[in-house]
Chain A
Amino acid sequence: MPEPVASSIEALGPPEIRLCILSQPRLLGAVRSLLESFAERIGFCGRGCSELMLAVDEALTNIIRHGYDHAPDCRIWMSLRALKTPRPGIRVEIEDHQRTFDPEDLPDRDLDEVRPGGLGVHLMRSVTHLCRHEPREEGGMRLVIEKFCEDEGEGDHPATSDASTASREDPT
């Protein structure tokens, strides 16, 4: 499967939706509802839609828990863009002003090790076509997630396709 990564951010234009939320777990459900509605209009359904919500939810959860250490008054910015090529999809950018970190240091645990915790990064990478952390010029981190519609139920799933590993890398 060719790497389904969108063109440069300049070519994408402004996001259709941009929002700012406080770092509070009780708001996660509202964000999922918004994302689900937007994704369904693009063409996501079923498992693909659930996976997209999971990836974004895990990203926000990681920021709240590890980036902001559960402080409830920090800000998280999220923007949503519809993608058209190579097939309908969605690009989500999530930004924060937590301390910067090296994405190489993110734990991606061995699933054969049975223990609670440490699953979030693995889940995000498993269900998306692109999952890339990068530092923001103004401080903090930016996470770029891209996911494209698939033929539901036909098994062309990022977690199991051969392209899943390569597609997680920087497309530039």
Chain B
Amino acid sequence: MPGDRMTIDERTVGESIVVAPVGDVDLSRSPQLQAKLAEVLARRPARIVVDLSKVPYMDSSGVATLVQGLQHCQKAGCELVIGALHPKVRSIFEIAKLTEIFRIVDDIESGD
């Protein structure tokens, strides 16, 4: 079925690799994001930034993917940062208290 898979863009900003999924992240697409994060982490970057500016919806499977990614990064000595959180996704971060465990930046390029 078209739409099952999503585009995940990637770019490098300084020492960071920016991973930018495009579209809803739900049960059908979380495995794709999980695989992408694992593949990027294997390259041992200093920092991975997950750019969520083009993710208008995320469910708990997406959240679980990010939490798992954070734990894997911490073990590998890599920082995982959430960037440009879409307003519609911010509420789930707040309900799940993820704003307390992730570093969230508004401006990916500057890191602020």
Contacts and interface: CB of A to CB of B under 8 A. Distances in A.
A61 B26 contact: yes
B57 A119 contact: no
Interface string B84-98: 000010011001110
B91 A111 contact: no
A114 B4 contact: no
Q: Give chain B's interface residue range (CB within 8 Å of chain A).
A: 20 to 34
A122 B64 CA distance: 13
Given A28-B28, A29-B26, A54 B3 contact: no
A26 B97 contact: no
Contacts of A120: 59-60
Most A-side CB within 10 Å, residue of B64, B68, B71? B64
A69 to B, nearest CB: 13
A26 B4 contact: yes
Interface string B47-81: 00000000001011101110110010000000000
Contacts, number: 69
A29 B91 contact: no
Interface residues of A, number: 29
Interface string A125-141: 01100000000000000
Interface string B24-44: 101110000000000000000
9 contacts: A29-B24, A47-B91, A53-B57, A57-B59, A61-B59, A114-B71, A117-B60, A122-B96, A123-B95
Interface of B: 1, 3-4, 24, 26-28, 57, 59-61, 63-65, 67-68, 71, 88, 91-92, 95-97, 101
Interface of A: 24-26, 28-29, 32, 47, 50-51, 53-54, 57-58, 61, 64-65, 111-112, 114-117, 119-120, 122-123, 126-127, 159
